[in-house]
Structure formats: structure tokens, C-alpha cells
Amino acid sequence: MKHLLRIAFFSLLIPLQACAVEQWQEGEHYKVISDEATPSPEIREYFSFWCPHCFNFEPLVAQIKAKMGDNVTFTKVHVNFMRFTSKAIQDDATRAMMVARALEKEDEMNSAIFNYIHVQRSPVTSLDDLKNLFLLRDVSSDEFDKLANSFGVNSMMKKNQKAIDEHMRFLAGVPNFIVNGKYQATFTRDMTNDDIVDLVVWLSKQP
């Protein structure tokens, strides 16, 4: 009798496991955009500070970072092709983000820039507008200027642009997640916030 109950129990587990495996479907929840994955797991979020959806996505980004594995690298890639403002101003915002990255204040300053644009409704007319946000957070003017024009930040700017150019044909809009260089997450209308987070994290575990 115990043997029969054990068989019945495991027979119930098999369909449940199959459902878990089949939760995310290629073509519906993600696209395969490359034959090969990156050498190590990575999540790239392509976004714009001017995009309201990207602003609203920030809490989900925090959840993704909290749930992804310690071996996964998360990188924000700031795009410069939005129609909200000029490419030059968008590049200024990218430079500000790279200064924050160099200062290890990226999360803090990204939040400040998002709030400046979407909550305070303040215009960005030059890099100086964004520089003022750093000054309010104990970064000196000299330190900001030095980093903004440094070789390191210029190199990060080029790397950000390379990431845009590399996947430009897949970037119909933002936010957009490219995972392991191989998968592009696709979010459907019926997905919850938890589903979105779980999908991106799951893709980061795929070979």
C-alpha cells in the first residue's frame, strides 16, 4: 500500500514539474536573438531617464537585482534615441550616470535623475543641471568635472554606445532586457510584476 501511495505521489509531481519548466515559452515570453550566450551571466537593461515606463520599472529592477544570482552582472545601458529631447542631452545624462558609476553611487544618482525629470518635472538643458544633483549629494564640483572628463568615464561612454549599437535592431522601445546576450525578454499584458521579475531572473540562468 505504501509503495502504491509513493508511486501516486511522484506521478502527481511529474506534471507539476513539467508545468514549471514550460512556464516561459520562446516566442511568447522571450526571443532568442543570438546563437551563443555571453561567457558569464549578465542582464542588460536598456532604458532612458526620459521614459516614464522606465521610471515606473525601477522597483522591479531592484527586485531583479535582489533575486538574481551572485554570479550575474546587472548593467544599465542608457539609450540616446528617444524623441523626448536631443541626442546631446541624452548623452549628457549617460555621462552623468557614468560619473555616478565611477563614484559607486549609481543607484542613488539614477533615482535622483529620474525624480528630477518625472517628479519635479524639471528640464535638463545641459550637463550642469545634472551636475547640481551631485552637488546636493556631497560630490564637489571639481570632483564631478574631473570624473566627467576622465579617460575612465569616456571609456564607459564608448562601452555604453557599443552596447546600444550591438542590439539596436532589437530595441523597438524601452525598458528592454537583453539577458546573457542571447535572450530578449518579452512582457505580455497578463504578466504580473512578480512574473516579470521571475522571467528575467530565469533567463539569466539559461545557457
Domain ranges of the chain: 25-204
Architecture category of domain 25-204 in CATH: 3-Layer(aba) Sandwich (3.40)
pLDDT band at 178 (very low <50, low <70, confident <90, very high): very high
Helix (H, G, I), strand (E, B) or coil at 89: helix
Across 151-186, b (16+ Cβ under 10 Å) vs e yields eebeebbeebbebbeebeeeeeebbbbbbbbbbbbb
Global confidence as pTM? 0.88
Tell me the per-residue pLDDT of 119-173, one tens digit each, with 9 for 90 and over. 999 999 999 999 999 999 999 999 999 999 999 999 999 999 999 999 999 999 9
Question: If you search the block for the grid coordinates 528575467, which residue do you land on?
Answer: 200
Among residues 49, 22, 38, 183, the alpha carbon closest in space to that of 113 is found at 49
CA 8/CA 173 separation, integer angstroms: 48
Q: Cell for 63?
A: 527586485
Model confidence at 18, pLDDT cuts 50, 70, 90, reads very low
